[in-house]
Amino acid sequence: MITASDSRHAPPMAQADAALDVESIRRDFPILRQTINGHALVYLDNAATSQKPQVVIDAISRYYAEDNANIHRGVHALSVRATDAYEKVRITVQRFIGAAEPEEIVFVRSATEGINLIAQTYGRSEIGKGDEILITTMEHHSNIVPWQMLCRQTGAVLRVAPINDDGELILDQYEKLLCDRTKIVAVTHISNALGTINPLSEIIDLAHRHGARVLVDGAQAAPHLCIDVQALDCDFYVFSSHKVYGPTGVGVLYAKRELLEEMPPYQGGGEMIQSVTFDETTYNDVPHKFEAGTPNIAGVIGLGAALDYVNGIGLDRIAAYEHELLDHATHALAAIPQVRLIGTARHKAAVLAFVVEGIHPHDVGTVVDQEGIAIRTGHHCAQPVIDRFGLTATARASFAFYNTREEIDALAAAMRRVLEVFA
């Protein structure tokens, strides 16, 4: 029988203050054993998606092999087991982000869908002509475009808080943009393009003083930081499974229960109803009224296994180790004269963006791939922040707890190879 937590592939355990056993962790990720272009794979594209531990792969396989059935409403054994496994993950997610109750957790396809859900339910019902939505320059497209669409639908106005040359939100400028017309503030927890960690407590407190609701895009934060939505007092929080070592096609939306109760459904269909006639439909209780149709059951179970794995290691220990990696990488690349780092905030997570003088980032990415190193090049679905630095693209290395200092040294050596190729 499938469960979201399985001891057969338990993560390496250690005392809270002990160093990570990185080599043991790496053995849990089968993809890291391969070679690319004759070199051991160095995977430094974790901000785009993370790799999956064997425990996640096994959880998904066991669901399909042993418990595959549609959830809810079924009375046969397979359906009951699948439903139990699925709903246990809701509790796992609740605890992972510090929500008050599991009913505040809505499963969606992605963080992007979670943001669109809020824009088209809460936004369409609460925002009107002349109201304002406030975002920041460093947002991912998924936290820009849905609000632009909502503004076109309602006549609301989109405002943008600026950042400084280090990639940090200019807090006093943000505060000046807040007013009684501000209805929603939508802000990233960690910038995917820069690695900047935003001062969420201050951002949220200032917004609430003006009566605005706050949505936090936590896609980049969930793998790297301990999250407590109650302590933050955010109204909405979203993240994606695939960034936190789970499968693709699953996301999480957290919303305060009173807001979920008031919001209209996002989609109509099966599961989100209590009763249907040709005259009217009565909607299901939260969170189910926002989960129309058959969900990604296997994906949710895989997410549960991923969160159990991360919890077994400990996010505090993960954050400390990744900070060491980021510090090492920052010094290693900054030592190369032709390399310029983009985004040098005082508080950063495991993202390092850079450009090489006279060489297009795509060429950089192609050469380092020949050395078996995977990095991301382009605008990273964050064109406005790349524009802010007068660029069209950057190269980006992003780290996870299975990366090593030796892999960063390999990246630095590959960058010198780039310079040789284009000399």
Outline where DSSP puts E strands in 57-188.
105-108, 132-136, 157-161, 182-188
CA distance linking residue 145 with residue 67, whole number of Å:
39
Q: Alpha-carbon dihedral of residues 49, 233, 200, 379, nearest 10 degrees?
A: 30
Q: 381 catalytic, yes or no?
A: yes
Instruction: Name the catalytic one among 179, 226, 234, 381.
Output: 381
Is there a contact between 199 and 190 (Cβ–Cβ < 8 Å)?
no
User: DSSP class of residue 66?
Assistant: I
CA distance linking residue 290 with residue 52, whole number of Å:
28
Identify any residues that bridge with 205 across adjacent strands, giving them in sequence order. Answer: none
Could you tell me the CA-to-CA distances from 303 to 3, 58, 94, 240, 246 in Å, in that order?
11, 12, 13, 9, 5
Q: Of 230, 207, 215, 229, nearest to 123 (Cα)?
A: 215
Q: Which two tokens stand for residue 340?
A: 């310029």
Is there a contact between 395 and 361 (Cβ–Cβ < 8 Å)?
yes
Q: Alpha-carbon dihedral of residues 103, 139, 347, 329, nearest 10 degrees?
A: 110
Dihedrals φ, ψ of 362, to 5°?
-65, -35
158 membership: H or E segment, kind and range: strand 157-161
Identify any residues that bridge with 374 across adjacent strands, giving them in sequence order. Answer: 43
> Residue type at 42?
V
Identify any residues that bridge with 243 across adjacent strands, giving them in sequence order. Answer: none
63 membership: H or E segment, kind and range: none
Q: What 3-state class would DSSP assign to 305?
A: helix
> Residue type at 298?
A
Active site residues: 381
